[in-house]
Amino acid sequence: MHWSMLIILLRHLRLFTNPVPFFVTALERADGFMEVGLPVVFITTVVFVVALAYLLYRRLAIGQVRYISLVGDYFPLFLLLGIGISGFWLRHLAKTDIASVKEMVLGLARFAPVVPETISPLFYGHLFLVCVLLAYLPFSKLTHMAGVFLSPTRNMANNNRTVRHVNPWDYPVKVHTYEEYEDELREKMKSAGIPVERQ
């Protein structure tokens, strides 16, 4: 799932760049090695959609996981599924005119929008979902990737006995000193023959 996501993102580069970087083409070739039908079915697309469908199935079918799930857990799944399916549709069923898409995208990028006629409404649907995704991304659990690197249980060494770590917000606390302790218990200590500081 996560790998296919990355590869798809890279493959999308061909929509933005000119000439198409060599590694994008190489990726496409590798990814399309199972030539089922024409144009090539990219394995990652299939894996991506199937993986999402599995994740959704898991959330719905396993009772415990459904019980802990929030709206925020379903939403990104549906969103990504929507993007994935519409994207698949665009490539394999609707036969998008890549040249005109490129024209438009590059137009957008130069702040000089062009709206070619030959792009299907589905493309706009796809684009809209992607925009929602981009807007939602920073607030959502989809930023989970960052967590792997931020988690203190993951990125800190457990070496406190060897190396001193200083707490930046350390503050003094009230303690019960030995003097206070001995003052309260001195007589008992003396009669038990336990050494004391002051007689």
Partner 1 sequence: MKKPKPDEMEYYQQEDLLKLDWGPRKTSWMDTAVDFRPGTYIYPGKAKNLRVLDLPNPRDWAVTDDDWQLPEGWKQIVLEGMAERLSKYRSFKVFMDICVRCGACADKCHFFIGSGDPKNMPVLRAELLRSIYRKDFTALGKVFGKLAGGRELTPDVIKEWFYYFFQCTECRRCSVFCPYGIDTAEITMMGRELLGLLGLYVNWVIEPVANCYRFGNHLGIQPHGLKDTLEFMAEDIEEATGIQIDIPINKKGAEILFFTPSGDFVAAPGIYTCMAYMLLFHELGIDYTWSTYASDGGNFGLFTSHEALKRLNSKIYAEAKRLGVKWILGGECGHMWRVINQYMDTVSGPADFLEVPRSPLTGTVFEHARSTKVVHIMEFLADAIRHGKLNLDPSRNDHIRVTFHDSCNTARGMGILEEPRYVIRNACNHFYEMPENTIREQTFCCGGGAGLGTDENMEMRLRGGLPRGSAVRHVQEHHGVNQLAAMCAIDRATLVTVCDYWAPGVQVTGISELVANAMIFKGEKRRTHDLRLEPIPGMTEVGEESETVEVAANE
Cβ proximity to ligand HEM, 9 vs 62, nearer residue: 9
Residue 47 engages ligand HEM in binding (rule: CB under 6 A): no
Scan residues 88-147 and list those touching ligand HEM (CB under 6 A).
88, 90-91, 96, 101, 105, 123, 126-127, 130, 133
Least spacing, CB of residue 179 vs partner 1, in Å: 10
Least spacing, CB of residue 107 vs partner 1, in Å: 33
Dig out the tokens for 183 from the structure.
């003052």
The total of other beta-carbon atoms located within 10 Å of residue 79's CB is 19
Residue 64 engages partner 1 in binding (rule: CB under 8 A): yes
CA distances from 116 to 6, 47, 121 (A): 28, 31, 12
Please tell me the distance from the alpha carbon of residue 59 to that of residue 13, in angstroms, as a whole number. Answer: 32
Grouping H, G, I as helix, E, B as strand and the rest as coil, residue 199 is: coil
Residue 7 engages ligand HEM in binding (rule: CB under 6 A): no
Q: Which amino acid is it at 137?
A: L
Q: HEC profile for 165-197?
A: CCCCCCCCCCCCCHHHHHHHHHHHHHHCCCCCC
Scan residues 26-45 and list those touching ligand HEM (CB under 6 A).
42, 45
| The residue to which tokens 């001193």 are assigned | 164
Dig out the tokens for 66 from the structure.
């459904």
Residue 152 engages partner 1 in binding (rule: CB under 8 A): yes
Grouping H, G, I as helix, E, B as strand and the rest as coil, residue 141 is: helix
Cβ proximity to ligand HEM, 55 vs 127, nearer residue: 127
Q: Which residues bind ligand HEM (CB under 6 A)?
A: 8-9, 11-12, 15, 42, 45, 48, 83-84, 87-88, 90-91, 96, 101, 105, 123, 126-127, 130, 133
Residues that bind partner 1 in the complex, under the rule CB under 8 A:
62-73, 139-141, 143-144, 146-148, 150-154, 158, 160-167, 169-170, 173-178, 181-182, 184-185, 188-189, 191-195, 197
